[in-house]
A and B are shown apart, each in its own frame.
Chain A
Amino acid sequence: MDNKDKPLVTVADIFGTMESRVNPEGVQGVTANYGYIITGEGGGEWTVSVNNGDVEVKNGIHKPQVTTTCAAEDWIAITLGKLDGMSAFTSGKLKVEGDLGLLGKAAKFFHKYTPPVPEVTVADIFGTMESRVNPDGVKGITANYGYVITGDGGGEWTVCVADGTVKVKEGLHDPKVTTTCQDEDWIAITLGKLDGMTAFSSGKLKVDGDLGLLGPATKFFKKYVPASGMEEEVGEELIVLKQILSLPQKFSTGKVMGKFLNALKDKKILANKCPKCGRLQLPPREVCAICVVRADQWVEVGPEGSIATPDIAYYASPDPLTGESRETPYCSAHFLLDGCKDHETLWHELKDEDLPKAKKGVRVRPVWNEERIGAITDIKYFEVID
Chain B
Amino acid sequence: MSRRVAVCAVAQIKNEPDIWYQRFQGMLLECFEELIKKTGVTFDMDKGIRNIVTCSDDVFDARTISDSGMADVVGAHLRGEKKSAQNGINALGYGMSMILSGHDDLVLVMGHCKESQSESRNMCTNLAYDPFYLRPLGLDFLNVSAFQAREFMKKSNITDEHLAKIVVRSRKNASKNPFARENGSISEKDVISSPYLSDPVRELHQYPVTDWAVGLLLCCEERANEFTDKPVWLTGFGNCMDSYFPGDRELTSNFALKKAAARAYKMAGVKDPKTDIDLFELNDAIAYQLPLWAEGLGLVPEGESDLWVESDGMDRHHVNLSGGMLNGNPIMLSGLARAVECFLQLRGEAENRQVDGVKRALAHGTTGGAGQHHGVIILEK
Contact = CB atoms under 8 A, between A and B. Distances in A.
Contacts of B26: 254-256, 286
A334 interface: no
B25 A286 contact: yes
Q: Which of A248, A249, A289, A294 has the most CB atoms of chain B within a 10 A radius of its CB? A: A249
Closest 3 CB pairs of A and B: A289-B77, A248-B119, A289-B72
Contacts of A289: 71-72, 77
Contacts of B2: none
Given A256-B26, A287-B73, 8 more contacts: A243-B131, A252-B19, A252-B23, A252-B117, A257-B23, A286-B29, A292-B43, A294-B33
Nearest to A281: B72
A241 B131 contact: yes
B124 A287 contact: no
5 contacts: A251-B62, A252-B23, A256-B26, A285-B25, A292-B75
Interface in B159-184: none
Contacts of A294: 29, 33
A285 B123 CA distance: 30
Contacts of A234: none
Nearest to A243: B131
A294 to B, nearest CB: 7
Contacts of A254: 21-23, 25-26
A290 B77 contact: yes
A287 B132 contact: no
A250 interface: yes
Given A247-B59, A287-B73, A289-B72, A253 B23 contact: yes
B117 A249 contact: yes
B251 to A, nearest CB: 28
A256 B23 CA distance: 10
B243 interface: no
Contacts of B23: 251-254, 257
Given A257-B23, A294-B29, A249 B118 contact: yes
Given A286-B72, A287-B29, A247 B77 contact: no
Chain A: number of interface residues, binned into ranges: 20 to 34
Chain B: number of interface residues, binned into ranges: 20 to 34
A245 interface: yes
Interface in A269-297: 285-287, 289-290, 292, 294
B22 A245 contact: no
Contacts of A292: 43, 75, 77
A102 to B, nearest CB: 33
B20 A252 contact: yes
Contacts of A285: 25, 72
Contact of B120 (A239, A248, A255): A248
Contacts of B132: 239, 241
Contact of B117 (A243, A245, A250, A290): A250
B128 interface: no
Mostly, the A contact residues are loop
Q: Which of A247, A253, A257, A294 has the most CB atoms of chain B within a 10 A radius of its CB? A: A247
Q: Which of A243, A249, A250, A252 has the most CB atoms of chain B within a 10 A radius of its CB? A: A252
A253 B116 CA distance: 14
B127 interface: yes
Contacts of B71: 289
Given A247-B59, A292-B77, A287 B120 contact: no
A292 B71 CA distance: 10
B104 to A, nearest CB: 18
B79 to A, nearest CB: 10
A252 B21 contact: yes
Nearest to A252: B23
Interface in B4-24: 19-23
A287 B22 contact: no
B126 to A, nearest CB: 10
Given A287-B73, A289-B72, A247 B118 contact: yes
Interface in A48-80: none
Contacts of B22: 252, 254-255
B72 A251 contact: no
Interface string A233-245: 0000001010101
A251 B117 contact: yes
Interface string B240-273: 0000000000000000000000000000000000
Contacts of A253: 23
A245 B29 contact: no
Contact of B62 (A249, A256, A286): A249
A285 B172 CA distance: 40
Contacts of A248: 118-120, 123
Nearest to A293: B33
B49 to A, nearest CB: 9
Nearest to A295: B72
Contacts of A252: 19-23, 117
A289 B72 CA distance: 5
A239 B62 CA distance: 27
Nearest to B117: A249
Contacts of A239: 132
A152 to B, nearest CB: 42
Nearest to B123: A247
A201 B29 CA distance: 73
